[in-house]
Structure 1
């Protein structure tokens, strides 16, 4: 029961943060959406900040990437990168409204909220960086700063998504995502493989 209530609150918060942003959504509205009393919401989350942090941690790419990395151990490097990229783009697409509103509000966020956002990005980058380090140890990848390269990999796909979906740039084709992934992964892999 308690787990279900917490899940309902997190889902309601995601919905309202995606619609109204962190600044616009109130705990009263979130509680109403979750069909719980506001006091119940505060039993699970002592503040709106804590609730936002839980939403970001739950729906970020970090938990998905963790699961993917344990599943791709037997895949070759290029295949593994394509799986990571496809899942990353799928997640971005499914959270498009939240990303859009967060980017429009980001400059107005309190420092604590910006820190929550930065921490989840850093955790994701570090996880991918560790994957690259393991491939370096196996002699598959050349020597490079894995954190910088992890940021570059995620950044390529986020930039494509951002221009296409958030900026709604008409010159960027919305079709053939497989081709985009193939080209980006090929360029990336060629720059990181040990020759």
Structure 2
């Protein structure tokens, strides 16, 4: 799925929910151009003049709708994360989290493949979130409230289940989740953000990542 399709999928059928009366054609072009620019160059390196050029509008048109570049960023990320991305992530994760797995290893394989599919579909928005959340308190709070807490609760139940079965070593569930998430997150970050052009063997990397997690967490 290309970037334009990615953007359209996130906005289609929910514009009125996110933006009240919906977007004008020029607003939509501005937002699409800003998503592309922020994803490719980062927020700080993208200028409103470049966004205007890509959107094929005058730069003044941007400022008629959005007073500052920061307001433009928030106009993209806050409603998308709150109303589209958060429920979309939760709904997508539920395909994995609500299944019964024979082992924690089976669960890890399923969750990594699920997240890879999501990232590949929505790479531009994912890049913006990763790049900008650490630097904007508003975005960080939105992510924690809309996504982080909900996902954590589901993961906590899964880890506790496999600890109760005696499959995982006894440790605080938050520690088990942190160790699992940091290993998987590190792989996905390197794969799609840091070194996307590298010649990746996804199956081998997945196998090594899960082997690393299980060797550290598996009950002896």
How high is the TM-score relative to the length of structure 2?
0.61
Map of 2:204 onto structure 1: 179
Q: Does 2:194 align with 1:194?
A: no
Question: Runs of 5+ in structure 1 lacking a partner?
Answer: 30-46
**1:174/1:152 Cα in 2 relative to 1: closer, same or farther (>3 Å)?**
farther
Residue 151 of structure 1 aligns to a residue whose secondary structure is helix
Map of 2:97 onto structure 1: 69
Q: How does 1:13-92 map to 2 (within 5 A)?
A: 16=32, 18-19=35-36, 48=75, 49-60=78-89, 62-71=90-99, 73-92=100-119
Which of residues 96, 106, 116 in structure 1 aligns to 2:123?
96
Residue 156 of structure 1 aligns to a residue whose secondary structure is helix
Map of 1:106 onto structure 2: 133
1:108, distance to aligned residue in structure 2 (A): 4.9
List per-residue Cα deviations over 1:16-66 (Å, max 9, x = no partner): 4743559889xxx9xxxxxxxxxxxxxxxxx95445411231332x33332
Residue 102 of structure 2 aligns to a residue whose secondary structure is coil
**1:158/1:50 Cα in 2 relative to 1: closer, same or farther (>3 Å)?**
same
List per-residue Cα deviations over 1:85-105 (Å, max 9, x = no partner): 211222223222112122333
1:192, distance to aligned residue in structure 2 (A): 1.6
**1:86/1:5 Cα in 2 relative to 1: closer, same or farther (>3 Å)?**
closer
Contact 2:187–2:209, Cα closer than 8 Å, also in 1:
no
**1:149/1:18 Cα in 2 relative to 1: closer, same or farther (>3 Å)?**
farther
Aligned residues: 166
Question: Runs of 5+ in structure 2 lacking a partner?
Answer: 1-11, 56-73
List per-residue Cα deviations over 1:66-99 (Å, max 9, x = no partner): 221222x143332222111211222223222112
Contact 2:81–2:143, Cα closer than 8 Å, also in 1:
no
Contact 2:103–2:162, Cα closer than 8 Å, also in 1:
no
How high is the TM-score relative to the length of structure 1?
0.67
Distance in 2 (alpha carbons) for counterparts of 1:5 and 1:90: 21
Distance in 2 (alpha carbons) for counterparts of 1:79 and 1:107: 32
Backbone CA RMSD of aligned residues? 3.4
